[in-house]
Amino acid sequence: MNIKEQLGLRIKELRLKNGLKQSELAEKVNIATKHQSCIETGKNYPSADLIEKYARAFNLEPAEIFNVSHKKEIDLIAKEINCMLKNANEDELRLIYKLIKSVIE
């Protein structure tokens, strides 16, 4: 994974930890939602000014935005799973249930 992808994941993790949708964070830092998506997927790299805006939005020091060596916290993983489940259709939910049941049992 390259640095753009790592930084994008870090920003996504901070966004989810703060309970924000991509569009909400994009509005807070004054960028388009599409640009926010591209940053989170590592397609685009945020400018120094944008890093400062992220830091203000997350109430962090700018250097903390670059803390890409951490592991996902369990509550962040749970939030991501819940988000995926909310967007799943009935057939997907049935399959997910079977998979979880087979893993846990």
pLDDT digits (tens, 9 = 90+) for 9-26: 999 989 998 999 999 999
pLDDT value of residue 69: 60
- Per-residue pLDDT tens, the chain, 105 aa: give them: 788 888 999 999 899 989 999 999 999 999 999 999 999 999 999 999 999 999 999 999 999 998 876 555 666 777 888 888 999 999 999 999 999 889 887
What is the phi/psi pair of residue 67, to 5°? Answer: -75, 80
- Structure pTM? 0.65
Contact 26, 11 (CB under 8 A): no
CB neighbours of residue 58 within 10 Å: 19
CATH number of 1-70: 1.10.260.40
Q: In the chain, which residues fall in CATH 1.10.260.40?
A: 1-70
At 27 the pLDDT is 97
